[in-house]
Amino acid sequence: MKKNFLKLTAALAVCLVVLWLLQMLLMPKYMTESKEGNLIAEYYDDFEEHGPHDVIFIGDCEVYENFSPITLWEEYGITSYIRGSAQQLIWQSYYLMEETFEYETPKVMVFNVLSMKYDTPASTGAAAQREAYNRMTIDPMRWSMSKWNCIQASMTDMEREKEAEWMYLFPILRYHDRWSDLSAEDFKYWFKRGDVADNGYLMQTGVKPLVHDHVEKPLVDYSFADSCWEYLDRMRELCEKHGTELVLIKAPSLSPVWWDQWDAQIEEYAEKYDLVYWNFLEHQEEIGIDWNTDTYDTGLHLNVYGAEKMSRYFGQLLVDTFDLPDRRSDAELSAVWADKVAVYNERKAKLEAETASATEGE
Amino acid sequence: MKKILALALALTMVLTLAACGGDKPAETTAPKAPSIVSPVTPDPAAFGYNVRGVDIEMHAEAAPILEALGEPVSYTEEASCAFDGLDKTYYFGGFYLQTYPLNGVDYVYSVWLVDDSSTTPEGVYIGASQAEVEAAYGAEGFNGSNAYIYTSSTATLTILVENGVVTSIQYDAVVK
């Protein structure tokens, strides 16, 4: 009897290991395409190796493309990390914030408010795109209640009916038929992926100037949804509980359009709860953004040159407003960040060479 | 040990294959995906715009329409955060035309009128009265405050009004 039990246990253990190995192999690696899919995962190793940060950014591409933690360190000695992901929705931002507090308690939590425009999972696009974005935020999260709740919050009613949440908890259920799509990248990064970002900042060195202003159709209703306000309330309460300053920002991206009516609602909210809200679209000149040279996609996002300008400006605001410490006098931390700066500069040089080569080829 | 391994592998196969029978939330297995995943056949009976003798139906292939309309006054393009392909916006003076990409082909996503230089096929224009809107399309689309919204099979027509006057006319592809 005991022998049979041991055999069954051993079989189950082997089975689980095989399933885990298959899952690791079959999941997309995001190393050469859609690198955004790696951003959330990189945080855990960085925290475990290098410890906590004074500032954490949470949000969509408007944080991971527009702010450079390396510049914040070099200019002000601020330690920071960007927990950003592509089209990160406000309910996902909340649970990522909640999860972050399980690891560390930053002095400042920066949240980019663009995602207030999406009220429900179903409002965020067609099913395939929605799932692809969800995957890039949720799949890399480590198992926790925050992840489970994030999955639940990200499901449409139809997906919930189909119990799609289990495919997020156990991605092999989703990717089991990806055999025919496997490439060399899947085997190369089967167990360990490389770092694609610098403390969550995804560098771009290309230049594609703004030629014409971005326009969007006027909306029928500019009111943010109750569900979004609820998540913003929960973020505020979470930060209050941990003694962390919640800072609301609107990055200086020109598209999607940030309507004045939206801006007024966030301003009112910030005033009501005594929060700092900076809309950097109103500070482009002081920041020094030149839309001929500082964007790689006609104004949607900044390239590295714009992000460094943005970070110099933002760092000064942070220092002036929150009296953040300059950590550059800490020898141990300085050594860690010296390595990070070296990696950043190496990446920048490599990408600049690639950009130059691509430009010559055009 | 061989028996244990065989049993484990068999169990793994069963579990893995068992998942094949389940419903999927979407068709993609990789993260690359456009916002609309399969071509939508335009419906001539759905709301559509006609300008300069060119019919513009939502989900129609954009290239022949753009060629017929000629050089735009301005053009912008946007890539989404992590996907291939560009959403393109053309301004033709009086109206904007927006396209979405699918498998390397651009399709009409929306058209919106911004001044009174053109009218809808039903005769409504920027500056028209609410009474004219209702005469052309019916009153049932009114949302009770500032818009008339009419939905057909592949297109939605949204007409914004302010102080009883039309301020914006928008055709949008219905996305499922």
Interface contact A34-B82, CB threshold 8 A: yes
* Residue B29, pLDDT score: 32
Maximum distance among all Cα pairs of chain B, rounded to whole angstroms: 83
Nearest by CB to B96, which of A167, A178, A215?
A215
Please report, rounded to a whole number, the percentage of residues in chain B having pLDDT higher than 90.
Answer: 46
- Antiparallel, parallel or unpaired: β B105-113 and B165-173: antiparallel
Examine residue B37 and state whether it is found in any structural domain, yes or no: no
| Helix or strand holding residue B167 (H, E) | strand B165-173
* Residue A266, pLDDT score: 98
Instruction: Please state the rounded mean pLDDT for residues A292-317.
Output: 96
> How many Å apart are CA A79 and CA A199, to the nearest integer?
9
Nearest by CB to A87, which of B5, B77, B81?
B81
Nearest by CB to A129, which of B5, B33, B176?
B33
Q: Is the pLDDT score of B18 beyond 70? A: no
**Which of chain B's residues have a Cβ under 8 Å away from the Cβ of A177?**
20, 29
> How many Å apart are CA A44 and CA A100, to the nearest integer?
9
Chain A contact present for B150, CB below 8 A = no
* Residue B67, pLDDT score: 95
Examine residue B41 and state whether it is found in any structural domain, yes or no: no
The CATH number given to whatever domain includes residue B100 is 2.60.460
Name the residue of chain A whose CA is nearest to B159's CA. A220
User: Residues 72..131 of B with a Cβ closer than 8 Å to A: which?
Assistant: 74-83, 89, 91, 96, 110, 112
Nearest by CB to A167, which of B16, B25, B32?
B25
* Residue A322, pLDDT score: 96
Q: Which range, A17-21, A24-28, A265-269, is most confident?
A: A265-269
DSSP letters, A3-32, are HHHHHHHHHHHHHHHHHHHHHHHHS---SS
Q: A30 Cβ partners below 8 Å, 6+ apart?
A: A36, A37, A38, A136, A193, A196, B31
Written as six digits, the tokens of A177 are: 């038929």
Single-letter amino acid, residue A116: M
pLDDT top residue among B38 and A215: A215
Q: A320 Cβ partners below 8 Å, 6+ apart?
A: none
Examine residue B11 and state whether it is found in any structural domain, yes or no: no
pLDDT top residue among B11 and A79: A79
pLDDT in tens, B92-111: 999 999 998 888 889 999 99
CA distances from residue A71 to A103, A154, A310, B174 in whole angstroms, order as listed: 24, 33, 9, 44
> How many Å apart are CA A36 and CA A133, to the nearest integer?
9
CB B56 within 8 A of CB B97: yes
| Helix or strand holding residue A178 (H, E) | none
Written as six digits, the tokens of A217 are: 């159709």
Q: Which of these, A260, A264, A255, A262, lies nearest to A215 by C-alpha position?
A: A255
Confidence of residue A271 (pLDDT cuts 50, 70, 90): very high
Q: Is the pLDDT score of B116 beyond 80? A: yes
pLDDT in tens, A136-178: 999 999 999 999 999 999 998 888 888 888 989 899 988 988 8
Handedness of CA A231, A39, A351, A326 (dihedral sign): positive
> How many Å apart are CA A210 and CA A7, to the nearest integer?
66
Interface contact A217-B110, CB threshold 8 A: yes
**Which of chain B's residues have a Cβ under 8 Å away from the Cβ of A218?**
160, 167-168
Chain A contact present for B15, CB below 8 A = yes
pLDDT in tens, A325-334: 999 999 999 9
pLDDT top residue among A1 and A164: A164
Mutation site, B2, B3, B76, interface A, largest A CB count within 10 A: B76
Instruction: Please state the rounded mean pLDDT for residues B108-127.
Output: 91
Q: Which domain holds residue B96?
A: 48-173
Name the residue of chain B whose CA is nearest to A299's CA. B78
> How many Å apart are CA B35 and CA A125, to the nearest integer?
6
Examine residue B108 and state whether it is found in any structural domain, yes or no: yes
CA distances from residue A229 to A234, A243, A270 in whole angstroms, order as listed: 9, 21, 12
Q: What total number of domains does chain B contain?
A: 1
**Which of chain B's residues have a Cβ under 8 Å away from the Cβ of A174?**
24, 29
Instruction: Please state the rounded mean pLDDT for residues A348-357.
Output: 94
Interface contact A61-B8, CB threshold 8 A: no
- Antiparallel, parallel or unpaired: β B48-51 and A55-59: unpaired
Mutation site, A4, A6, A7, A18, interface B, largest B CB count within 10 A: A18
Chain A contact present for B34, CB below 8 A = yes
Instruction: Please state the rounded mean pLDDT for residues A242-266.
Output: 97
Among A178-187, A292-301, B14-23, which stretch is predicted with the lowest mean pLDDT? B14-23
CA atoms within 13 A on the CB side of B161: 20
The domain A33-179+190-212+222-361: what is its CATH number? 3.40.50.1110
